[in-house]
Amino acid sequence: MSRRLIVLLAAVALAALAVAPAQGAKKKPRSKTVGVIDYAFTPAKMTVRPGTKIVWKWSKANSAPHDVKLAKGPKGVKKFTSPVYTASISWSRTLKVKGTYRLLCTYHANMRQTIVVK
Ligand SMILES: [Cu+2]
């Protein structure tokens, strides 16, 4: 094998390595994390693509119990309510249908969140 060929093969191998992680990232299911932090959902407003898994994460510093309730969603989407948790736990839901999801915490009237799927 000539030295020139070896250098060329090495360059091709390095290029393949550089591209691989980007392709892997594309195949991963999309997910977004929402903080459930006394007494707010953070971020309170977000826009995601259909099929995004929303992960609500209760802060370990929380002192009060909270849940995540779908108050109003797009037509045909069944309402859901998470269990009531206080701290250090996650709960998720995948939003597949396009539209506006208005969420709230059953226990705290100002804890509201809007997620737009489009
Ligand atoms: Cu709450």
* CA 79 to centroid of ligand 1, rounded, Å: 18
Q: Report the number of distinct structural domains present in the chain.
A: 1
Closest CA to 111 of 101, 102, 98: 102
Q: Mean per-residue pLDDT for 36-47? A: 97
Structural tokens at position 83? 């269990």
Domain that holds residue 43: 29-117
Would residue 16 count as lying in a domain?
A: no
Query: Band of the pLDDT at 6, cuts 50, 70, 90?
Result: low
> C-alpha distances in angstroms, 114 versus 46, 63, 90?
7, 24, 19
Would residue 37 count as lying in a domain?
A: yes
Asked if 115 contacts 54 with a C-beta cutoff of 8 angstroms, the reply is yes
Would residue 105 count as lying in a domain?
A: yes
Would residue 45 count as lying in a domain?
A: yes
Q: Which has the higher per-residue pLDDT, 72 or 21? A: 72
User: Cα separation of 89 and 29, whole Å?
Assistant: 21
Would residue 104 count as lying in a domain?
A: yes
Would residue 111 count as lying in a domain?
A: yes
pLDDT digit string, tens, across residues 44-65: 999 999 999 999 999 999 999 9
* CA 76 to centroid of ligand 1, rounded, Å: 26
Ion ligand 1, residue ranges at CB < 5 A = 66, 105, 107-108, 111
Would residue 15 count as lying in a domain?
A: no
- Check which CATH number belongs to the domain holding 34 and give it: 2.60.40.420
User: Cα separation of 78 and 31, whole Å?
Assistant: 20
Q: What is the mean pLDDT of the chain?
A: 87
* CA 5 to centroid of ligand 1, rounded, Å: 64
Would residue 33 count as lying in a domain?
A: yes
User: Cα separation of 56 and 13, whole Å?
Assistant: 40
